[in-house]
Chain A
């Protein structure tokens, strides 16, 4: 038997309002929504449309070319999709997103949420606060803290730890730059995953778990066949949000490595920044942003499709 588990929708909520009432509330609704609509139009819709326009031109920010930008059609897109540096940056973005967000944050966030839902766990407040801390800390402070941890001299926290075992100081951001920023991003994002999964786990009916236990299911089987299908929606919602935010990560990576060494951590956001602002090629930078936007949109659609729960 197949049934779809959707939240019950009350008839009252879907019943249309009477015409007179709608007319009476019209100005108030317009007044309340108006500022949001104006702000969204001004700061999201128009820049996005302008960015699409720029991506079709050879606009530069400096030099004589800046005075007379030309329409170049899809040339910027053709250039980027055959440009090794850009394709590398997409590859690095995919690696960074997959390991830090999809694997790292999601798995560790789930583990943390499950641990916090255990009645036998002592010191939940302390544990929860420790996990939440990275999310509260401003990005610059987090970057500074990790720059200190990963510092290449013997005073770096990690080098002090490895030094206890007789190891020489290592320049972690040189030797394993991508792994380093993946770990930093996992650390930063695990709290949000934990909060979302904790809320989802609380909605799982205890009777279902107990029934499965009585039927002889192990803890892993309960999680795999009962809990996970029931929280599939929130899990995919989290994956969607974390993918979008991780693809756009800039400050953390820029502060720690600036895309180096040798372009090993030049993720797409760094590439776009370099092209658009450092090298003043705003047309190419905009085209790269549009490509990234399309990729994220495709991923979003995939997640939304996968999130439809059928048992």
Chain B
């Protein structure tokens, strides 16, 4: 019995000692170097940020600060990233700096996972160089700023100018969707293709809302969300008009319905058929010039700028003008649980200033959210990106807040009903209203 007790005591001591050793290994002296972590989940971003870290560490050394940066490179798609980072927020284990899509910020900020940045930004000269529309769009519904934009751009319709010209189809800016649909029908009849891809359905995830439905909605109706009350107006007239548009496109066999219903629908549409000229028009952000179809992109299109051009989204309802949709691309954020917020903010400031920012913009294919980058190489050598930067000023944007995740979910489900042929535009709209009302709850829906 004594021997058993001795074994038990010995084991307990061993486990306790190991635990204490493990705990102490993570401690850093208060005067020693500080290590902060930054998470990137797209290969392009991983590569560029990795190359910029030594410059930041060197600059900090010059200022007498010993800050080391550890890059957490985890290649994930948007949905996987959202799932993973949510778990890390809840566990209090999120990295000190997180690079994420702006569309995720309202949900994470609302939940209290992100640290407000207002104080840091107020004390930083660089903040004065952000375009006013981005500063305004960064303010969340509680009046605070939780993110620092690192890439922006404009969502437009990218089209295969070479293919349309060969087919004898008009390539000037279509003023209305009716006009564009007539052209798409011409293409369909001549080629047998489904000529336009707009993100739709559940398989595209949050992109259905962020990159497809919301731009179309915002171009015809800017009253669907009230930032003052934080409520969604589900009876605003634009909703049904957009569902009708999706239904018309599906009914006319203009949308690649089968591809949109499959997992990873961007793969066959944007990465195979558009580069092959078998889909001729695609809703796409500025990043298409680099990230998707550029020489180093996912599926390069040779002589891209000669083959591909852009239209603004045509007007949807009577009186609407063509428009581009302002895209708040990626943002840097700091979790509330970070113990190194000040150092994290220094890294974010470094990455969104001068050459480091210019290099990121070119790598990602994005326009600048700042007004003092246009003459900084390599961004200064990219005419398409510079043009997108100019277009940002006239592009449409409707800031939204809490509930955008639920709206995205309801829109994905309702557009999927159209794709599967289970609903026309009005039925899809009715299904959307029922779904969104239930998901948002009474506090987020305008009565």
- For residue B1, CB closer than 8 A to chain A, the reply is yes
* Chain B residues with a Cβ closer than 8 Å to the other chain, count: 36
> Which residue of A62, A256, A258 contacts B110 across the interface (Cβ within 8 Å)?
A62
Q: Is the CB of B5 within 8 A of A262?
A: no
A261-B262, A262-B416, A263-B416 are known contacts. Are A62 and B8 too (CB-CB below 8 A)? no
Q: Give Cα A12–Cα B191 distance, bound, in whole angstroms.
A: 83
Q: Is the CB of A262 within 8 A of B261?
A: yes
Report the minimal beta-carbon distance from A176 to chain B, rounded to whole angstroms.
Answer: 14
Contact with B along A265-285 (1 / 0, CB 8 A): 000000000000111110000
Q: Is the CB of A260 within 8 A of B261?
A: yes
> Which residue of A24, A63, A259, A261 contacts B405 across the interface (Cβ within 8 Å)?
A63
Q: Is the CB of B416 within 8 A of A257?
A: no
Q: Give Cα A289–Cα B115 distance, bound, in whole angstroms.
A: 33
* Chain A residues with a Cβ closer than 8 Å to the other chain, count: 29
Q: Give Cα A227–Cα B419 distance, bound, in whole angstroms.
A: 52
Which residues in window 6-44 of A have CB below 8 A to B?
24, 27-28, 31
Instruction: Give the segment of A64-72, A201-209, A211-219 that binds chain B.
Output: A64-72
> Which residue of A24, A60, A173, A263 contacts B1 across the interface (Cβ within 8 Å)?
A24
> Which residue of B4, B112, B405 contacts A280 across the interface (Cβ within 8 Å)?
B405
- For residue B96, CB closer than 8 A to chain A, the reply is no
A171-B258, A262-B420 are known contacts. Are A61 and B11 too (CB-CB below 8 A)? no
- For residue A51, CB closer than 8 A to chain B, the reply is no
A64-B110, A65-B441, A173-B262 are known contacts. Are A280 and B86 too (CB-CB below 8 A)? yes
Q: Is the CB of B262 within 8 A of A63?
A: no
Which residues in window 401-429 of B have CB below 8 A to A?
402-403, 405-406, 409, 416, 419-420, 422
- For B201, B202, B409, B419, the residue with the greatest tally of chain A CB atoms inside 10 Å of its CB is B202
Q: Is the CB of A62 within 8 A of B5?
A: no
Residues on B with C-beta less than 8 A from A277 are 83, 86
Q: Give Cα A72–Cα B91 distance, bound, in whole angstroms.
A: 24
Q: Is the CB of A63 within 8 A of B111?
A: yes
Would you call the interface of chain B mostly helix, strand, loop, or mixed?
A: helix
Which residues in window 168-226 of B have CB below 8 A to A?
201-203, 205
- For residue A95, CB closer than 8 A to chain B, the reply is no
- For residue B90, CB closer than 8 A to chain A, the reply is yes
Closest to A64 in B: B110
Q: Give Cα A131–Cα B294 distance, bound, in whole angstroms.
A: 46
- For residue A174, CB closer than 8 A to chain B, the reply is yes
> Which residue of B108, B405, B441 contacts A279 across the interface (Cβ within 8 Å)?
B405
Q: Is the CB of B422 within 8 A of A262?
A: yes
Q: Give Cα A283–Cα B82 distance, bound, in whole angstroms.
A: 18
Residues on B with C-beta less than 8 A from A262 are 201, 261, 416, 419-420, 422
- For B203, B403, B439, the residue with the greatest tally of chain A CB atoms inside 10 Å of its CB is B203
Q: Is the CB of B263 within 8 A of A31?
A: no
Q: Give Cα A76–Cα B99 distance, bound, in whole angstroms.
A: 34
- For residue B277, CB closer than 8 A to chain A, the reply is no
- For residue B369, CB closer than 8 A to chain A, the reply is no
Residues on A with C-beta less than 8 A from B420 are 261-262
Contact with A along B376-415 (1 / 0, CB 8 A): 0000000000000000000000000011011001000000
Would you call the interface of chain A mostly helix, strand, loop, or mixed?
A: loop
Which residues in window 310-334 of B have CB below 8 A to A?
none
Q: Is the CB of B83 within 8 A of A278?
A: yes
Q: Is the CB of B79 within 8 A of A260?
A: no
A27-B8, A277-B83 are known contacts. Are A66 and B110 too (CB-CB below 8 A)? yes
Which residues in window 93-127 of B have CB below 8 A to A?
106-108, 110-112
Q: Is the CB of B263 within 8 A of A257?
A: yes
Report the minimal beta-carbon distance from B380 to chain A, rounded to whole angstroms.
Answer: 38
Report the minimal beta-carbon distance from A70 to chain B, rounded to whole angstroms.
Answer: 11
Q: Give Cα A61–Cα B111 distance, bound, in whole angstroms.
A: 7
Q: Is the CB of A258 within 8 A of B90?
A: no
Q: Give Cα A256–Cα B264 distance, bound, in whole angstroms.
A: 10
- For A152, A171, A260, A279, the residue with the greatest tally of chain B CB atoms inside 10 Å of its CB is A260
Residues on A with C-beta less than 8 A from B82 are 278
> Which residue of A64, A261, A281 contacts B261 across the interface (Cβ within 8 Å)?
A261
Q: Give Cα A31–Cα B10 distance, bound, in whole angstroms.
A: 12
Report the minimal beta-carbon distance from A192 to chain B, rounded to whole angstroms.
Answer: 27
Q: Is the CB of B7 within 8 A of A63?
A: no
Residues on A with C-beta less than 8 A from B107 are 62-63, 280
Q: Give Cα A171–Cα B256 distance, bound, in whole angstroms.
A: 14
Q: Is the CB of B402 within 8 A of A64?
A: yes
Which residues in window 86-143 of A have CB below 8 A to B?
none
Residues on A with C-beta less than 8 A from B201 are 260, 262
Residues on B with C-beta less than 8 A from A259 are 202
Report the minimal beta-carbon distance from B169 to chain A, rounded to whole angstroms.
Answer: 28
Report the minimal beta-carbon distance from A177 to chain B, rounded to whole angstroms.
Answer: 10
Closest to A278 in B: B79
Nearest first, the 4 A-B pairs at minimum CB distance are: A62-B107, A261-B261, A66-B111, A262-B420
**B residues touching A (Cβ–Cβ < 8 Å)?**
1, 4-5, 7-8, 11, 79, 82-83, 86, 90, 106-108, 110-112, 201-203, 205, 258, 261-263, 402-403, 405-406, 409, 416, 419-420, 422, 439, 441
Can you report 12 residue pairs joining A to B where beta carbons are below 8 Å apart?
A31-B4, A63-B403, A65-B402, A66-B111, A66-B112, A171-B262, A174-B261, A263-B202, A263-B416, A277-B86, A278-B83, A279-B406
Q: A31-B4, A61-B111, A63-B403 are in contact. List 15 more A-B contacts (CB 8 A).
A: A62-B110, A62-B405, A63-B405, A64-B110, A65-B402, A171-B258, A173-B262, A260-B263, A261-B203, A261-B262, A262-B261, A262-B420, A278-B82, A278-B83, A278-B409
